[in-house]
Every structure is written in C-alpha cells, then in structure tokens.
Amino acid sequence: MARPFNLEVQESAEYLSKSLKNARTALDKERLQMLWWIKTEQVTQHQEVSRRLGRDGSTITRWLQRYRKGGLSSLLEVKTAPGATPLIQGEMLSQLISKLESPQGFSSYRQIVEWLEQEWHVQVKYKTVYSLVRYKLGAKLKVPRPIRGATRFCEVG
C-alpha cells in the first residue's frame, strides 16, 4: 500500500511554478516539480511521485526528509566533495598573480614551475600550473615573437 503524504509545503504554487521555470539543473527541476505536484494536490501518494519522476522511493523519502528539516534551500542544496587543498594558495598565489601582471612576467609555464620550486620550495606539475594560470586565473603568457617581414616596414635612407 502506498504511503500518503503528511507534508505541508510552505511555498506557494505560483512561487514553485516560477522557480521551476527558472531552474537551471535537471535535479532542481525534479525536486521543484515534486513539491509543486504535492502543493497542487496532483499527487497524494509517495509511490506516485516515485513513478512519475522515475526515481526510487527511497530517493523521494530522502528528498522529503531534507525538505522537512531545512526547507526549500536544503532540498535544492547540492553537496560536493571538498577535494584536495590547492598547492598554490594564499601568499604564494598572490605573488604569482602580481608577477604575471608585471611587464616582465613569465615567458613559459615551465618557468613558472621553476619559480615556484625556487621561491617556495613547492613541486607542482606543469599541467597543474597550466590549468591554474590559463583557466582559473585567465592569464595568457605574452611571449614576444619575431614578426615575419618586419624589415619591410623599416625606413630606407
């Protein structure tokens, strides 16, 4: 026998509808859809929500418990693993940024790796330095390169 809901949805149906339209992720949409169905009394049993969303009943139970304990913000919160602490952080990172912004800067990512090893005694992989500098900091190394045919534009006396 399916379990009936004993849940009071605090948000209005209009608010849930607007939030559902503005939801960015599929997971948020599913969770908001569940609350909207419950609020508008389109579903009255736990098993029906599970069937409509194509989710296991235990998942629906877990979502409802999160909503009961912390409300909508708790239900929509996505927990992620913290990951490793960055090797380059704090003062080291701020010095790297200032050195990247200076006119002489670095001419290669390998030079940054060597600088970190000499100045900070930290061994960081090339790939790590590249992804930090290029993608997270958004910096490009400006290496002066010779221009072909540059002598063409020189003044002839």
Give residue-wise pLDDT tens across range 116-143.
Answer: 999 999 999 999 999 999 999 988 886 6
Same domain, 27 and 69: yes
| pTM of full prediction above 0.95 | no
- Does residue 156 carry a pLDDT above 90? no
**Would residue 3 count as lying in a domain?**
no
Task: Return the pLDDT at 78.
Answer: 86
- Give me the mean pLDDT over the 98-102 stretch: 90
- Same-domain pairing of 70 and 122: no
Domain-embedded: residue 85: no
Instruction: Reduce the DSSP state of residue 4 to 3 states and report it.
Output: strand
CA 146 to chain centre: 40
Residue-level pLDDT at 141: 83
Residue span of the structural domain in which 132 resides:
90-136
110 or 1: which carries more pLDDT confidence?
110
- Tell me the pLDDT tens digit for each residue of 23-32: 999 999 999 9
Based on the domain organization, do 49 and 94 belong to the same domain? Answer: no
Q: How confident is the model at residue 103 (pLDDT cuts 50, 70, 90)?
A: confident
In a domain, 1, yes or no: no
Contact 9, 21 (CB under 8 A): no
Q: What is the pLDDT of residues 34-55, one digit of tens each?
A: 999 999 999 989 899 999 999 9
Please tell me the distance from the alpha carbon of residue 153 to that of residue 77, in angstroms, as a whole number.
61
Share the mean pLDDT of the chain: 88
What distance in Å separates the CA atoms of residue 96 and residue 148, rounded to the nearest whole number? 32
Domains in the chain, number: 2
